A = this chain, B = another copy of it.
């Protein structure tokens, strides 16, 4: 019977009905000051009766806090980002925070636009997978303007902000080493490797060899190549540049083509390392279409663990990223910042696990 056309019930009306001032009503409803039991009861009853719901815009305007976290993901459609987002959303929800989502598609222009929008919407903090580790003045400015930032998956050079990453380099090195230990000498890598300023693979290898490169702010696929190179170096195996499959784009089809190319080399590799989930998908597509047998004709390890890798033939041994945990951790760091922590920037590195599934054996 209670007919409310528009839900424009404000605190003023509640106060009026309860016979108190708006300030008092606010104290009860907002829970931020003194109020006698008697009055508390009265105000709450009135609020209940009118169906009062606080207007978080107004509250945010005055407190300067919106209890909203802005997230800039690359592409929520991908399992990687969607799992991370899930982790973020869970932690945020538990603390009564909202999550404002945007996609950058790994384009700087779009990230810029997104950060802009989120800042204008006055989010309390920004969780970002930065798509450029150098040109990120917008993030610096936001940080300086008092908006905390937590990076994930990669880190901007010299940005004094929290970050959650994994040790790509180490996991990749260990994966390659385990292939080497199994007896493999010709191991191919299939990786995106899109952006790098001195874009040349040869010079990258040279700098890795000379130890003149800082891996922390590289993009993940480069870090994984880094580990690949290191594993070869420490085992004393010469690198064959033909075995480095630089896909150059984040696309299944491009990965498939590059994988086909690698598998058709005159001296075909006996091992294959794919540097992320999409690359693994492309590789498996190529492998099944060529009828190559795993692990008899080819041993394989992939980065990222997708559900099908465990229940389909060929099963794929994979480096498992703790995706949801990454999101949760990022959100927790963010909440601490929002709560006022001003500790120096923290960098959390989560552990990676290798899920062994029998796609690795000795070379024929």
Contacts and interface: CB of A to CB of B under 8 A. Distances in A.
A293 B196 CA distance: 46
B311 A56 contact: no
A236 interface: no
Contacts of A103: 86, 89-90, 93
Contact of A82 (B82, B306, B311, B324): B82
A55 B120 contact: yes
Contacts of A281: 307-308, 311
Indicate the member of A96, A114, A288, A307 with the most B CB atoms within 10 Å: A307
A99 interface: yes
Contact of A313 (B60, B79, B288): B288
Nearest to A145: B7
A155 B206 CA distance: 60
Interface residues of A, number: 59
Contacts of A120: 53-56
A177 interface: no
A121 B68 contact: yes
A147 B79 CA distance: 32
Given A4-B144, A281-B307, A57 B54 contact: no
Nearest to A99: B101
A119 interface: yes
Contacts of A93: 102-103, 114
Interface in A271-314: 281, 284-285, 288-289, 306-308, 311-313
A240 B203 CA distance: 67
Contacts of A5: 144-146
A117 interface: yes
Contacts of A60: 57
A77 interface: yes
Given A5-B146, A53-B116, A281-B311, 15 more contacts: A5-B145, A7-B141, A55-B120, A57-B61, A76-B82, A76-B85, A77-B324, A78-B82, A99-B102, A100-B101, A252-B307, A281-B307, A285-B312, A288-B313, A313-B313
Interface of A: 4-7, 53-58, 60-61, 66, 68, 75-79, 82-83, 85-86, 89-90, 93, 96, 98-103, 114, 116-122, 141, 144-147, 252, 281, 284-285, 288-289, 306-308, 311-313, 324
